[in-house]
Structure 1
Amino acid sequence: MSKRGWLLFLAMGVIWGIPYAMIRVAVRDFDPVVVAFGRTFLGALVLLPIALYTKGLLPALRRWRWVLLYTLVEVTGPWLLIGHAETKLTSSTVGLLIAAVPLVTILIVTRLGHERLDRRRVIGLLVGFGGVAALVGLDIDMSDLGALAAIGVSVLGYAVGAILIGRKLGDLPPIGVAAASLIFAAVIYAPFTLWRMPAHYPAAPTWSVVGLGLVCTALAFVVFFALIAEVGPSRATVFTYINPAVALLIGVTLLREPLSAGMAIGFPLVILGSILGTVRAKPEVKEPAPA
């Protein structure tokens, strides 16, 4: 891999590893729907001119039904549900649970008959879900089951969204799909946001929302597409195994979240299981999800 490829690779590992901490900070003062709207609105504001300049928006809008479905399962639902979950769970726990997306993706594609579930993948799934079980069993309080369910739905949505990209939207300009989906999401969130607008805008949560929109959404997509162009789609998705480590490191060091036994046991198992379970997967089903 070239020096530029390594820089882009490391940048993506950090950029999509930090949203969980930012969301955690933002939802302490803002309603999760306000956070989700701010992120999608700012992201769309930046990506829309790029999509128009590169003529990528119109092709995406021509297939608006599939783009809308992708938006609902990949952006609108997960970003709102993750925000709600982080009012109860630590950002570290959420980041590690989201790392199960590749495991759920491979389960779906093998169930649909698109790929074969060989011995290595079976072992990977067992190891990975064993890690999730360790996280849930050791770290999640029974009063947080609603938050856990929100993360479960988000993981499923991310997995379905990855498949939609590969099967229905893979031939479209990526920047056009990203811009269109953010616009759709912002429009969906807007009426609910009007009823939840905060009376005050403290600095920390406000800057967290700005960071989510400009860095973890707009910049993330631009860097990701540059990484794909530099190293190819298959190698580009490997950074998804770094994201949970970044989320864990930031949560423990900056937000003073506890490093629990569930994290210590579950984290390596989830990552190892994801690697074993997806190592032979086709590139399009390993498309990572934004946080």
Structure 2
Amino acid sequence: MSTANLLRLFLLAAIWGGSFMFMRIAAPVLGPAVLIQYRVLFAALFLGAIALLLKKPLHWRAHWKHYLILGLFNSALPFLLFAFAARTLSASVLAVLNATTPIWGALIGAVWSRHMVSARVVVGLLLGVSGVALLVGFDHVSARPGAGLAIAAVLSASFCYGIASTYTRTAVPVEPFANAHGSMWASTLLVIPALAFFPAPGQATAGIMAAALALGVVCSGIAYLLYFRLIQDVGATSALTVTFISPLFGILWGTLFLQEIVGWYTFAGAAIVILGTALVTGFKPDIGWLKRLARGGAGTA
């Protein structure tokens, strides 16, 4: 992995880790539906501007069903569930629970393909459950009213991401940028019905709107561009490394900017979940870039 791609990887992890902080700031004021409507709309407008600049068509007539399915399971539904949970849970807890996404993806993929899971996957699943139990059991946030429902919402959001990842592996291939762009417009339409059920409980301030704008443009629009560039340059397996790094940034931003209390159980739970994720996905870190760095040749892809 080149130095440039390594920087992109850490930047992406920092951005996605920051999304939980922004949701924690804005969700209690805007409510989940209004916040996510802003998020997907801002992302769609940003990606639409990029598409016009790069002259990248969406081919709506050919792929509208694909965009709707991807928009539902990869954006609209999980975003709403995360925003719902962000009214109660801390950004740190949200970030760690989100790290279970690859576990769900592997299990759904196994069911979809009707393949028996290996012993390694079973151990990884048990570790993932243990890490979540440790985090939830010791974190004071879990004692708040509605915390149980919020935790279920986060795990359901991660489950949705697992559905989306399985679907994209079996669907007709669509250009990655078009996937991101088209799914954001589809999500914008899909979130509209939720506005009737979750009106904004508070009055938006400039700071709240800035958090919503950051969620849309930075944490969705720019993050997608970085992610798909990484997949193109280093492959999906190496790009998956972001799953193991973003929880650490989620914990860091929550501690620095939201004064969240982080205990030993936070890091222990995160480490166990990440280890379980690595076992389930069969992830093997590529340390070739580190060896090249030691030889002074990290700039070579």
The aligned counterpart of 1:100 is: 100
Q: Which of residues 208, 214, 217 is equivalent to 2:217?
A: 214
TM-score (norm 2): 0.85
Distance in 2 (alpha carbons) for counterparts of 1:128 and 1:141: 21
The aligned counterpart of 1:20 is: 20
Cα deviation digits, residues 16-66 of structure 1 (max 9, x gap): 1110000001123212211101111111001124335443411x6513223
Note closer, same or farther for the CA distance 1:66–1:114 as it changes in structure 2 (3 Å cut): farther
The aligned counterpart of 1:113 is: 113
Tell which deviates more after alignment, 220-229 or 253-262: 253-262
Q: Which of residues 136, 153, 158 is equivalent to 1:155?
A: 158
Structure 2 unpaired stretches of 5+: 285-301
Distance in 2 (alpha carbons) for counterparts of 1:49 and 1:55: 10
Structure 1 unpaired stretches of 5+: 282-291
Distance in 2 (alpha carbons) for counterparts of 1:38 and 1:93: 23
Give the counterpart letter for 2:275 in structure 1: L
Distance in 2 (alpha carbons) for counterparts of 1:192 and 1:119: 41
Size of the alignment, in residue pairs?
Answer: 279
Distance in 2 (alpha carbons) for counterparts of 1:168 and 1:51: 22
Cα deviation digits, residues 163-182 of structure 1 (max 9, x gap): 1111115x101111111111
The aligned counterpart of 1:230 is: 233
Give the counterpart letter for 1:188 in structure 2: L
Aligned-residue Cα RMSD (Å) equals 2.2
What is the SS of the residue equivalent to 1:31?
Answer: helix
Give the counterpart letter for 1:78 in structure 2: P
Aligned counterparts, 1:71-86, within 5 A: 71-86=71-86
Note closer, same or farther for the CA distance 1:256–1:173 as it changes in structure 2 (3 Å cut): same
1:55 aligned onto 2:61: no
The aligned counterpart of 1:173 is: 175
Q: Percent identity?
A: 29
Question: Do 1:132 and 1:270's aligned partners in 2 also have CA atoms closer than 8 Å?
Answer: yes
Shift, 1:184, TM fit: 1.3
The aligned counterpart of 1:183 is: 185
Shift, 1:101, TM fit: 0.8
Tell which deviates more after alignment, 195-204 or 114-123: 195-204
Distance in 2 (alpha carbons) for counterparts of 1:103 and 1:260: 24
The aligned counterpart of 1:69 is: 69
Question: Do 1:40 and 1:182's aligned partners in 2 also have CA atoms closer than 8 Å?
Answer: yes
